[in-house]
Structure 1
Amino acid sequence: MAKNKTTEREADISEFINSFVDNEQKKTDSYELIKLMSKWSGCDPKMWGPTIIGFGSYHYKYASGHEGDAPLIAFSPRKAQFSLYVHSNTEKSKLLLENLGKCKISKACIYVKKLADIDISVLEKLSLETFAYLEEHNECSCRH
């Protein structure tokens, strides 16, 4: 069975942001996301893999037998745009996404160029919906 590449690791988040992010607005937005996601999750930020900042964790197991741990919510300040990992496949999430703002959506994440492009209150609701979904469907180690 393949080993998961995205695992929680010890690393200085400020050092990561200051060395990886080359745009002052993106740095400011990164620190704002840390503040918001810490508040919403009740968890401290941790590095997951080399470029993802995650909050809390849960254990998943697929029908195939593959299992591992992942952050409850997370983001990565990628070069072109932020990758926001706050999406759950629920009807409520689908409705919320319609009001999020300027973004692109894939199966696993939401892409935004800057926080000013989206409605932060909708992002909070999406995060809360994700927590509810994960707590119902997985073993959560945070937010108990």
Structure 2
Amino acid sequence: MTENKTQPTDRTVEDFLAAVEHPVRREDGFELLDLMRRITGQEAVMWGPTIVGFGSYHYRYESGRDGDAAAVGFSPRKANLALYGLTYGPDAGHLLPRLGKHKTGAACLYISKLDDVDREVLAEMVRTGYGHVMAELHQP
């Protein structure tokens, strides 16, 4: 089997975020860093070249493929902020309508900027998404 491309790196999160060209994405990235660090109690780790992650879990698909991933995280992309792990929790379904302007993908939540969403709802999504992954998957 092939090795997962997205793995923890030694790159510092602060250096990565400081290099984000878009000023709003850069500012929002630092705010998300503080928010997720505070809620998860974890230090941020760069996963691959562009994902800031907190905590980790091991997964195994029915196909036999397995690997590790960040429990929650984000990536400040040119078009939007991609947030990972926030739609996994059982409360996500009722929190998403209250979040504000967003889009969802297979496993991601996309927002243009933090000012488009209710920060309290976002914080609850981080809390419940992280808690769900760590508790349900029995991770350390």
Would you say how many aligned residue pairs link Structure 1 and Structure 2? 140
1:111 CA drift (Å): 0.7
CA distance in 2: counterparts of 1:61 and 1:136, whole angstroms: 16
Question: Residues 121, 86 of structure 1: CA spacing in aligned structure 2 closer, same or farther, 3 A cutoff?
Answer: farther
CA distance in 2: counterparts of 1:139 and 1:61, whole angstroms: 13
- Show the counterpart of 1:55: 54
Question: Residues 60, 22 of structure 1: CA spacing in aligned structure 2 closer, same or farther, 3 A cutoff?
Answer: same
CA distance in 2: counterparts of 1:135 and 1:50, whole angstroms: 24
Indicate if the aligned counterparts of 1:60 and 1:139 stay in contact, CA closer than 8 A: no
Question: How does 1:128-143 map onto structure 2 within 5 Å?
Answer: 128-141=127-140
Question: Residues 88, 112 of structure 1: CA spacing in aligned structure 2 closer, same or farther, 3 A cutoff?
Answer: closer
> Sequence identity of aligned pairs in percent?
39
Give the alignment's TM-score, normalised by structure 1: 0.90
- Show the counterpart of 1:12: 12
Structure 2 counterpart of 1:36, one-letter code: L
- Show the counterpart of 2:105: 106
Question: How does 1:17-56 map onto structure 2 within 5 Å?
Answer: 17-19=17-19, 21-56=20-55
Indicate if the aligned counterparts of 2:52 and 2:74 stay in contact, CA closer than 8 A: yes
Give ranges in structure 2 of 5+ residues lacking alignment: none
Q: CA RMSD in A?
A: 1.4
1:69-121, Cα deviation, whole Å (9 max, x unpaired): 11111000001110011333454211111111001111111111110001111
Give ranges in structure 1 of 5+ residues lacking alignment: none
